[in-house]
């Protein structure tokens, strides 16, 4: 964690008062992490570990009980147009058409732009997410995937310094999800967008992110470790499973979610420093690897998609 | 389906007319002179008082509707004029109520503190029959026509107030969060997020209020007299013209239906599908 990092979260904690006589409920505490400019960071963890709360704190929609977040040299004290949010349930306004939804955001960002400029700007971002031709449909006339695309277009259209995505594809079917993942990856690569994303989907995290933060189970959740994605930048969904370290990373993540995440907070490993969670590169480092089932998977392309929802 | 339902409605209507006719028509007299009593009671001129037959009713309706706007002095005005007076009062009272209830409801919905502080007053005032206010209104306003507008105002304010507050309070958090992340100003948030989101609920409140206002105006005008459909009903009762009373009842129903349909259209206009 360097002082020049684009975004620095320090000692974040969220506690809820426990009511009469009961101790406070600590959802997470001592959460430190940093995100560099242009980095795509995913956070993975079980429900209830406070991922959404962390995202809301980054967005400025919620406040942490302790700790602070600094983005681009300035403390995050409230919501800002500098940070675009894609909400879990798309959060489109149902009385506005797709384009008007994007327009609402664009007009908030640039109130002085002319009608024509705003229109062109919105159209550009709707085209970018592949919604050309559906601009004037109301959200109720769009499919789940298209709604989420509008949500993404809305967040991108304000050209924020950072994009926060709260499990954006959770409600979509696998096929639609794949397509939007590809598009999101393309747009992020083209715009060098800094992204923080919550996901439950291990494959999604490996495909999209440069760094994957693993959160242990709550209460008292922590960032257990940070997995560095060593796969080549130009990976794609089709060939992802053929990359040399794919299964090493995937198994490491699944192994963490299935077993290690539960025990982690109770028995912190020796030498664990919450301020500096260990960086791991499964498959590259000399550290003991989790069992390698590579040979036991005869059809890697049919690998079961583990979805921890 | 629509056709079948229409046909069934027609059958029911004809059946109803048949029963009406059978129970009201008097068999032609089988000759013989009138008794002295009958002469005294004016029975010779055929059936004039009491319930009319459907045929008599029909001709009365035709007569009224062919000249709805005549004005022969205070006690003899066309039905159109009477309805216009009533509608004007309802419109004025309703509009005033909307001007108060919607902004106040907005604030109540936005502020849980205000909601809790005002809730006891609303709960006590809401169930009061609007006509109970009439003496107070007559005493303070000292004008019967304005008093009836006040009564409409007080009865139509509650559903609008409560629905507006509820609609505003239950705007989806997500939409408010979107507005927050976009740093949308207070007024823009109120008019472009909260208002459209709460509009269907507010419109439902307005529709209920209009329904109640139309119910109350008849009673209010019976009390204050002078003009209006309620006064017309009472005046015709004093004239012992049940035909006109029934005609007025019919008109009250038709106008009430039209008002409700109008709000139905408005409601459709602001409703959105989630």
Interface with B, mutate which of A58, A98, A108, A122 (most B CBs under 10 A): A108
Q: How confident is the model at residue B6 (pLDDT cuts 50, 70, 90)?
A: very high
pLDDT at residue number A303: 43
pLDDT, position B76: 86
Q: State the ipTM, two decimals.
A: 0.83
**Residue in A94, A148, A151, A164 to test binding to B, most B beta-carbons within 10 Å:** A94
Q: Which residues of A touch B174 (CB under 8 A)?
A: 87, 89, 91
The pLDDT of residue B103: 96
Average pLDDT, chain B: 91
Q: Residue B180: its chain A contacts at CB < 8 A? A: 60-61, 78-79
pLDDT digits over A186-230, tens only?
888 888 999 999 998 899 999 999 999 999 987 888 899 999 998
Residues of chain A with pLDDT under 70: 1-3, 285-309
| Cβ-contact A45, A214 below 8 angstroms | yes
Q: Which domains does chain B have, with CATH numbers?
A: 79-270 (1.10.3720.10)
Residue B3 pLDDT > 70 = yes
Asked whether the predicted pLDDT for residue B29 surpasses 60, the reply is no
Q: Which residues of B touch A109 (CB under 8 A)?
A: 182
Q: Which of A105-109, B74-78, B151-155, B221-225 comes out lowest in average pLDDT?
A: B74-78
> Which residue of A lies nearest to B181 if distances are taken between CA atoms?
A79
Q: Tell me how many residue pairs between chain A and chain B have CB atoms under 8 A apart.
A: 61
pLDDT, tens digit, 9 for 90 and up, residues B97-156:
999 999 999 999 999 999 999 999 999 999 999 999 999 999 999 998 899 999 999 999
Q: How confident is the model over B37-56, as a mean pLDDT?
A: 69
- Calculate mean pLDDT across residues B211-223: 95
pTM of the model: 0.83
pLDDT band at B205 (very low <50, low <70, confident <90, very high): very high
Answer yes or no: do A94 and B272 touch at CB < 8 A.
yes
């Amino acid at each position: 964690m360097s002082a020049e990092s684009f975004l620095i979260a320090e000692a974040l904690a969220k506690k809820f008062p426990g009511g009469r006589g009961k101790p406070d409920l600590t959802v997470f505490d001592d959460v430190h992490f940093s995100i560099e400019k242009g980095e795509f960071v995913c956070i993975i963890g079980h429900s209830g570990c406070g991922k959404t709360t962390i995202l809301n704190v980054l967005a400025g929609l919620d406040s942490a009980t302790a700790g602070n977040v600094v983005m681009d040299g300035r403390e995050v004290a409230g919501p800002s147009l500098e940070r675009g949010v894609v909400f879990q349930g798309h959060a489109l306004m149902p009385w506005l058409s797709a384009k008007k939804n994007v327009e609402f955001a664009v007009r908030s960002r640039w109130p002085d732009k002319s009608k024509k400029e705003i229109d062109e700007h919105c159209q550009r971002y709707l085209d970018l997410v592949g919604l050309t031709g559906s601009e004037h449909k109301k959200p109720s006339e769009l499919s789940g995937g298209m709604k989420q695309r509008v949500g993404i277009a809305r967040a991108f259209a304000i050209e924020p310094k950072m994009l926060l995505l709260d499990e954006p594809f959770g409600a979509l079917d696998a096929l639609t999800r794949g397509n939007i993942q590809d598009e999101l990856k393309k747009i992020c690569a083209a715009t060098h967008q800094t992204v923080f994303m919550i996901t439950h989907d291990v494959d999604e995290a490996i495909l999209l992110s440069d760094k994957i933060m693993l959160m242990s189970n709550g209460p008292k959740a922590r960032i257990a470790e940070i997995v560095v994605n060593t796969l080549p930048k130009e990976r794609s969904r089709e060939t992802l499973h053929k990359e040399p370290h794919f299964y090493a990373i995937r198994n490491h993540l699944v192994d963490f979610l299935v077993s290690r995440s539960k025990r982690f907070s109770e028995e912190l490993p020796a030498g664990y420093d919450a301020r500096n969670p260990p960086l791991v590169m499964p498959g590259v480092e000399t550290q003991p690897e989790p069992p390698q089932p590579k040979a036991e998977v005869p059809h890697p392309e049919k690998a079961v998609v583990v979805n921890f929802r | 389906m629509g056709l079948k339902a229409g046909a069934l409605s027609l059958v029911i209507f004809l059946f109803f007319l048949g029963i009406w006719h059978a129970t009201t028509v008097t068999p032609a007299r089988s000759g013989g002179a009138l008794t002295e009593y009958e002469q005294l009671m004016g029975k010779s001129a055929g059936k004039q008082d009491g319930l009319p037959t459907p045929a008599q009713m029909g001709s009365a309706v035709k007569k009224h509707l062919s000249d709805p706007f005549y004005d022969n002095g205070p006690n003899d005005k066309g039905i159109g004029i009477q309805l216009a007076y009533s509608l004007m009062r309802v419109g004025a009272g309703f509009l005033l109520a909307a001007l108060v209830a919607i902004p106040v409801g907005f604030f109540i919905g936005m502020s849980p503190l205000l909601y809790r502080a005002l809730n006891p007053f609303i709960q006590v005032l809401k169930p009061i029959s609007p006509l109970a206010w009439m003496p107070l209104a007559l005493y303070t306003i000292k004008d019967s026509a304005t008093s009836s507008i006040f009564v409409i105002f007080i009865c139509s304010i509650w559903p609008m107030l409560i629905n507006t507050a509820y609609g505003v309070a239950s705007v989806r958090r997500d939409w408010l969060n979107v507005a927050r992340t976009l740093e949308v100003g207070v007024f823009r948030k109120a008019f472009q997020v909260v208002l459209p989101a709460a509009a269907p609920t507010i419109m439902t409140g307005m529709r209920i209020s209009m329904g109640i206002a139309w119910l109350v105006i008849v009673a209010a005008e019976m009390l204050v007299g002078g003009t209006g459909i309620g006064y017309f009903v009472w005046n015709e009762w004093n004239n012992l013209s049940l035909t006109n009373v029934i005609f007025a009842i019919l008109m009250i129903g038709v106008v009430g239906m039209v008002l409700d349909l109008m709000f139905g259209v408005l409601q459709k206009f602001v409703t959105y599908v989630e």
